[in-house]
Structure 1
Amino acid sequence: MPTLLLYIACPPPHREATEELLAAAGFVTAWVDDVAGALASLEQRDRCVLVDFGDDRAPQVVREIRERRPQTLILGVADASSPAVALDLERSGVPAVLRRPIEVRTLGLLAGAAREEPAPAAVPDARPDRSGFPLFAESAAMKAVVEAIRAAAASDAGVLVCGEHGAGRQFVARQIHGQSSRAAGRFVTLDCAGDDGQGIEARLFGAPARPSDVGDRRPDRVGEDSLLHQARGGTLFLANLAELPDRLQARLARVLRDGEVFVGDAPAPSGLRVRAVVSADLGWDEAVAEGHIRADLGKRVAGTRIDVPPLRDRREDIPLLAAGLLREECAARGTLLKEVEPSALALLSALPWRGNGRELRALMATLAAHVPGTRIRLEDVLGYVRLDGAARTFVASGTLHEARARFEREYVSAVLEHHRGRIGEAARELGIQRTNLYRKMRSLRISRPGNNHH
């Protein structure tokens, strides 16, 4: 049966093309311009609601529909890479955002709950996973990761998740687990570099291999409290696999190959249905070639490979990601929820983030703990970061006002340079009026790019 949609406040320039796109994909869409029309339509038939955040009234529309119809699925349509729009989306709390032109496949998955007849499969949960980094996929790079996660979840093959430290590799592994047929089982983690060989063996297998089992063609034997036994029917996530001693790699490869083990002192083997997901940095191929990872184990754990992009390659995701992490950190501390002003979001989106999402979360935790009030301003962020991404250092001389002026001058100059001196565009990114930008340029003695005078 067709999916029913209700599109609120679609901008006239996009209406015709959007109508054609949705109709061609088989969606049955009603179009209204305001919340009154939306509520009237929803009284007649429940639909998945699309709220266009190109309209300034969007946050209020979302709030009113949610108050009157809390079970209705509401999705945002927006350019979430714009800091101002990202702020509106964060305030509204919509669970997922679609960019223009709308990706109809993604919309179909998210809107399955609004079908005239229930869809046979459960609708994917678009909310952030609180155990890791929220899965905001505004960038093309992360959209590719989302597709790879979906494909990997549909298979039982081992998965290799590659990327820089802090990029969210374990979170991707959790998403694969949560979307797979093993979601009801446990997600068990082990850092192979976190202990010596004996300690790792005790945790992973529960006990050393018995002399009588070594070289035997019978299945291996594991303890009831071993991580392998705990992960049965679920997922075993292994970090730093190259640090696992060769002897234990061979034993793990054998267990994964056989799919059954003796548990404790049991006289007969039992099935051990475990899916292995492994995280690695970008040197996986070299580790295999140099013998740090056994070929037989590598083949079993790397049936599918997913490369997680660093944060600097997915800048479109940063505004919503930063706002979501800040909300989590405020909630964890029991403090008032804080909002990040557009100019501060623009700065966050421009930083190099060499520590990736882990570094961004640490900054949000710091801002949540130390910034008073409910708004994070540009100068608040500047107090805890350096624009070159290096660790913050402080010079013992100079007042706070002088330090802030230095940082502000550096940032405004960078924005002007990025926009090649176009004042209107730079002012929009900074979240200030053109006249205020001119005033700042004079007070901070900043030359407009291309000019030779202040």
Structure 2
Amino acid sequence: MQKNIYILDDEKEIRKSLRVILEDEDYIVEDFANGKSLLKALAKERPSLVLLDVWVDKEDGLTILDECKKLYPGLPIVMISGHGTIELAVSATKKGAVDFLEKPLSIEKVIQTIESALAKTKDYEIPEFQLEVDEILGESLSIKRVKFAIYQAAQTNARVFISGENGTGKELAARSIHQNSKRKNEPYIEFNCASVLEETLEQELFGVEIREAQTKNEIKIGKWESAQNGTLFLDEVCDLPLSIQSKVLKIILEHKLERVGGNDSVPVDVRIIAATNSNVEDAIREGRFREDLYYALSVIPLEMPPLRDRNQDIPLLVEFYLKKSISENQLSPKTIDREGLDALTSHFWPGNVRELKNILERLSILVPGETIRVKDVKEALHGFKKANEMVARGDLKHAKEEFERQYIIKTLQICEGNVTRTSKALGIERTHLYRKLRSLNISVEQLNEG
């Protein structure tokens, strides 16, 4: 198996030279110009080895080394420097570096050092850890990494930024961080930034003071203040208006807020966990999301893997959600045959775990008899055929949109066109569903007529 190597150096030519050398040696190479981009990549994947410059612009490489070791204690890291000293080499070694290279780099020395480091390093295993509350189903390596990241984040008060597609379990991960943290007995407040009308969003989030002459002020506490000493989960954070984003950043930096209509600052001690299914880099580049807010929120980045990247977990999830649906709907027991399970395992799952959960509920209700067969599974998945064909052609953007459209239409049909029931079934706010209906050109009236 090919080994993958990460390079962190602020000198572009050095990164380029090292990449050429190592790719010629059949290594897979990723290079980074700053520590933040490296740590973000490490949160998603563990490489075989890291080449780390002692100074990256104004960043201290030894500090970055510490952060790397927090994520992966057994990760081999080779330090490189143009100003090597014995003291620096000793310090790096004490912090866990396996070797130290001085610039200008010798090709032969670089290759020998990497080969030696990899030869001495056993395949990495996630350290033993125990979550006090563990509601995330799965035994795949990607899910074990998620759980380990949750365990690490829960030991701190650091802000966490969770990214991932719809239905991957971002809300579950956020709640798990809170339930395993020192704040577990304090409030846990969820706030969907896309589900509140812009004109009332500020009051909902920060609270409001109504002042009337010669009467006592009327105070309405916002979500942020309601989470005092606990955790505030800001879901779909990229949908916040820019005017609100600046206020969120100010509160994070100053640890105090002002209610709408108020004059006094209110001290707040709240741990912030943010999440999005949007492409943050695109949102920043297009000016829809503040870069400084992103960096303030993503002290610990966490990416939830899509279900298609952890299909070994599907049998476990199928068993759990099938039993859950049967119990909740008071149905007679059902099992799924081998071919049916294979069909579920090979499905692309653009809706991820949420789609799987709803498909199993549909099967548990609509399939007569005790056994769910492959034809039943294929019929249940038929509404998503067009989306899968698009994915097969590589048209992922439109495939996601088509899946979402078909998914909402099917749910509306099951709920007989009732938008309130549909929003509950989908797990989203009614105002957010109305936005989706408009953007996806879905007419409830036409569905009802049909």
Q: TM-score, normalised by structure 2?
A: 0.52
* 1:137 and 1:146 in contact (8 A); partners too: no
1:230: how far off?
1.3
Return the offset for 1:353: 0.5
Going from structure 1 to structure 2, the CA distance change for 1:387 and 1:292 (only over 3 Å counts) comes to closer
Whichever residue aligns with residue 231 of structure 1, its letter is A
Comparing 183-192 with 334-343, which one deviates more in the overlay?
Answer: 334-343
Cα distance change of structure 1 residues 225 and 373 upon mapping to structure 2, 3 Å threshold:
farther
Matches of residues 156-175 of structure 1 in structure 2 within 5 Å? 156-175=157-176
Match of 2:325 among 310, 324, 329: 329
CA shift digits 1:182-233 (9 cap, x unpaired): 21122222222223322211211123899xxxxxxxxxx9954310111112
Change in CA separation of 1:223 and 1:176 when aligned onto 2, cut-off 3 Å: farther
CA distance in 1 between counterparts of 2:341 and 2:191 reads 35
1:240 and 2:236 aligned = yes
Are residues 1:343 and 2:339 paired?
yes
Bigger mean CA deviation after superposition, 255-264 or 347-356: 255-264
Indicate conservation of the 8 Å contact 1:205/1:228, yes or no.
yes
Answer whether contact 1:231 1:274 (CA < 8 A) is retained.
yes
Equivalence map 1:298-309=2 (5 Å) = 298-309=294-305
Aligned partners of 1:233, 1:340: CA distance in 2, in Å?
46
The counterpart of 1:382, out of the listed 368, 373, 378, is 378
The residue that corresponds to 1:88 in the other structure is none
Greater per-residue helix proportion: 2
Match of 1:274 in 2: 270
Matching residue within 315, 320, 325 for 2:316: 320
For the 8 Å contact 1:222–1:263, the answer to whether it is kept is no
Q: Runs of 5+ in structure 1 lacking a partner?
A: 1-100, 111-122, 129-134, 211-220, 394-454
**How far apart in 1 are the matches of 2:203 and 2:167?**
28
Distance 2:291 2:126 in 1: 41
* Pairing partner for 2:288 from 271, 292, 296: 292
Hey, what does 2:80 align to over in structure 1? Answer: none
Q: Which residues in structure 2 correspond to 1:409-420 (within 5 Å)?
A: none
1:124 to 114, 128, 132: 132
Q: How does 1:107-186 map to 2 (within 5 A)?
A: 109=129, 124-126=132-134, 128=135, 135-186=136-187
What is the aligned-residue identity percentage? 29
Partner SS state of residue 278, structure 1: strand
SS at match of 1:300: helix
Q: CA deviation at 1:386?
A: 4.0
- Give the secondary structure class of the aligned counterpart of 2:380: coil
Residue of structure 2 equivalent to 1:207: 208
- Amino acid of the structure 2 residue aligned with 1:380: D
Give the aligned partner of residue 434 of structure 2. none
**TM-score, with normalisation over the residues of structure 1?**
0.52
Task: Give 3-state SS (helix, strand or coil) of 1:306's partner.
Answer: strand
Map Cα deviations across residues 260-316 of structure 1 (whole Å, 9 max, x no partner): 346799997553111111112251122223332223322221111111111101001
Cα pair 2:231 2:272 within 8 Å, conserved: yes
CA gap 1:385/1:265 in 2 versus in 1, 3 angstroms? closer
**Does the Cα contact within 8 Å between 1:149 and 1:172 map onto a contact in 2?**
yes
| 8 Å Cα contact 2:142/2:305 also seen in 1 | yes
* CA shift digits 1:239-263 (9 cap, x unpaired): 2222212211111111222223467
Q: Which amino acid aligns with 1:158?
A: R
Instruction: Tell me which of 353, 357, 367 is aligned to 1:357.
Output: 353
8 Å contact kept, 2:160–2:274: yes
Match of 1:250 in 2: 246
Q: What 5-or-longer segments of structure 2 have no aligned partner?
A: 1-122, 212-216, 390-450
Deviation at 1:337, TM superposition (A): 3.6
CA contact (8 A) 1:169 1:308 kept: yes
1:4-41 CA distance string (max 9 Å, x none): xxxxxxxxxxxxxxxxxxxxxxxxxxxxxxxxxxxxxx
What is the root-mean-square deviation in Å for CA atoms of aligned residues?
Answer: 3.3
Alignment match, 2:55: none
Structure 1 CA distance, aligned partners of 2:184 and 2:285?
Answer: 34
2:191 alignment partner in structure 1: 190
Q: Read off the aligned partner of 1:334 and give its amino acid letter.
A: Q
Whether contact under 8 Å (1:223, 1:264) holds in the other structure is no
Q: Distance in 1 between matches of 2:387 and 2:258?
A: 51
Tell me the equivalent position of 1:96.
none
